Structure 1
Amino acid sequence: MLETEDELAALQDLLDSSHATSTEHLRGIINDERTLTARDLAALLTGMKVLSVATVTARGEPRISALDGHFLHATWTFSTSGTAAKAKHLQSRPAVSVAHIDNEELAAFSHGQAVTMHERDPDWDETLAHWTAHYGSSPLTWGDDIRFYRLQPHWMVGYAWKRSELLAKRGIAP
């Protein structure tokens, strides 16, 4: 968990405002007993998580693919080859939807902008070190044009079917 208190507070504000402005249908499913907090998400989303990332083609058609994601500093980071279709979509149309779903137990849904990360970014070294430690090699060695993205979310909700049981099962204090 790399999140600072300020990052957790900002994420909690985003979660609260996203939930409050969601449809009645969504609030009926993700009710108060099933809503994950910022601290819950930061504790639950450690390590690599498979993300479903939806981009949009030039013709406005949605495309979804699976990517490795790492939740760092209260948002997702993900990577792909610059030759991938999703990289081309993101270069022209950075709007993205990102979901991590762990069976019926846990889900995190977000919408926002995919921001391309660069070596000059203040969290570049830490992000690259995290990814390198996880995989045992630098992702930058995996191809000629490896791109990293950080999700800048404008909407996010966290869900747990049985929040208390999930947190207890995973050794996280509520």
Structure 2
Amino acid sequence: MRETPEEIAELQRLLDASLSGATAHLRSIVAERTITAERLAGVLTGMCVLSLATVTAKGEPRISAVDGHFLHGCWVFGTARTAAKARHLAARPAASVSHLRGEDLGVFVHGTAEAIDLTVETGLLDYFKGFYGDDAFDWVNEVVYFRLRPHFVTVYAPDVTELQ
């Protein structure tokens, strides 16, 4: 877990606000089957496969998978600079991601993706080099990383004791 107490508090506020503003249907599913921000940050460690939803210029939805890393209360993910999803996010930064672990955990986030300059955010660059290897990519020219700034987060976790 890399989150500060302030980031955990903000994530908890967002979880609470998202649930209270959700539809009655979603609340009926999630309200008694969710977890705290602190527990969520403790569960979302390392690389988590995300389903990433973007939108084309014609307004058509597209979904793909990315390596997601939950860092400081936000999902961070990368892709090739030439990937369609990179173009979609650059032009239309609204995005959604989900992370599912069978029926044990579902994390659903809507937000705004912002490109990350790894030459400025050297702590993130060090993290990714440590995770993938120093020379896994041309970190400046080959890949682009995004941070999804969430405005809605909900979690489905029917049995907290099953989460690892």
Judge same fold: TM > 0.5, yes or no.
yes
Q: 1:103-122 maps to which residues of 2 (within 5 A)?
A: 103-119=102-118, 121=120
Do 2:119 and 2:125's aligned partners in 1 also have CA atoms closer than 8 Å? no
Q: Which runs of 5+ in 2 are unaligned?
A: none
| CA displacement, residues 100-145 of structure 1 (integer Å, 9 cap, x when unaligned) | 0011001110000001011465xx2221212111112355427833
Counterpart position of 2:45: 46
User: Are 2:162 and 1:166 aligned?
Assistant: yes
TM-score for the superposition, normalised by structure 1: 0.89
Letter in 1 for 2:83: A
TM-score for the superposition, normalised by structure 2: 0.94
Q: 1:22-101 maps to which residues of 2 (within 5 A)?
A: 22-32=22-32, 34-101=33-100
CA distance in 1, matches of 2:102, 2:152: 22
Do 1:37 and 1:158's aligned partners in 2 also have CA atoms closer than 8 Å? no
| CA displacement, residues 21-40 of structure 1 (integer Å, 9 cap, x when unaligned) | 001111111122x1121101
SS at match of 2:70: strand
User: Are 2:5 and 1:8 aligned?
Assistant: no
Q: 1:138 to 1:38 in 2, by over 3 A?
A: farther
Do 2:114 and 2:147's aligned partners in 1 also have CA atoms closer than 8 Å? yes
RMSD over aligned CA atoms reads 1.6
The count of corresponding residues between Structure 1 and Structure 2 is 164
Counterpart position of 1:155: 152
Letter in 2 for 1:12: Q
SS at match of 1:141: coil
SS at match of 1:67: strand
SS at match of 2:58: coil
| CA displacement, residues 134-158 of structure 1 (integer Å, 9 cap, x when unaligned) | 1123554278331010010000011
What is the percent sequence identity of the aligned residues?
A: 49
| CA displacement, residues 30-52 of structure 1 (integer Å, 9 cap, x when unaligned) | 122x1121101110000000000
